[in-house]
């Protein structure tokens, strides 16, 4: 058990809908990362937050947004869902020091999103 929790485990929804995925980092970790994993693309970095602020951005679609709250949990919002958004979404956390720890990330169990 990595100490990172994600809810829900599974989510089935229809095209055009909006969903929110939730992540709680390990105790003491200030950085949260979001990833999308699909069979053909592998694990793709979406976005990183550190102590509530956005710090790095990957290939995140404009339909997707995230935030990190004062209690350090994070939410990933996916809107106007398309069939191609079906994937595993992972949250990871690292570090307590600013600017350190991207190389030592702890992943949650993931949320499996199915868009029908």
Partner 1 sequence: QKEVEQDPGPLSVPEGAIVSLNCTYSNSAFQYFMWYRQYSRKGPELLMYTYSSGNKEDGRFTAQVDKSSKYISLFIRDSQPSDSATYLCAMSVSGGYQKVTFGIGTKLQVIP
What whole-number distance in Å separates Cα of residue 94 and Cα of residue 4?
10
Write the burial class of residue 47 (CB in 10 Å: 0-12 exposed, 13-18 middle, 19+ buried): buried
Task: Tell me how far, at minimum, the Cβ of 16 lies from partner 1, in Å.
Answer: 28
Of residues 71 and 104, the one with the C-beta less far from partner 1: 104
Of residues 15 and 38, the one with the C-beta less far from partner 1: 38
Q: Verify binding: residue 105, partner 1, rule CB under 8 A.
A: yes
Task: Tell me how far, at minimum, the Cβ of 29 lies from partner 1, in Å.
Answer: 13
User: Around Cβ 55, how many Cβ atoms within 10 Å?
Assistant: 16
What whole-number distance in Å separates Cα of residue 41 and Cα of residue 23?
22
Of residues 12 and 56, the one with the C-beta less far from partner 1: 56
User: Around Cβ 13, how many Cβ atoms within 10 Å?
Assistant: 16
| Count of positions on this chain that bind partner 1 (CB under 8 A) | 30
Contacts to partner 1 by CB under 8 A: 2, 4, 33, 35, 41-45, 48, 50, 55-58, 90, 92, 98-110
């Amino acid at each position: 058990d990595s100490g990172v929790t994600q809810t829900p485990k599974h989510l089935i929804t229809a095209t055009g809908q909006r969903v929110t995925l939730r992540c709680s980092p390990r105790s003491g970790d200030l950085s949260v990362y979001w990833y999308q994993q699909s069979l053909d693309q592998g694990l793709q970095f979406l976005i990183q937050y550190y102590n509530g602020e956005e710090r790095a951005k990957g290939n995140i679609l404009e339909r997707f947004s995230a935030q990190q709250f004062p209690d350090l949990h994070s939410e990933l919002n996916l809107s106007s869902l398309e069939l191609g958004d079906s994937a595993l979404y992972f949250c990871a956390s690292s570090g307590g020091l600013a600017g350190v720890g991207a190389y030592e990330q702890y992943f949650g169990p993931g949320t499996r999103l199915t868009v029908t």
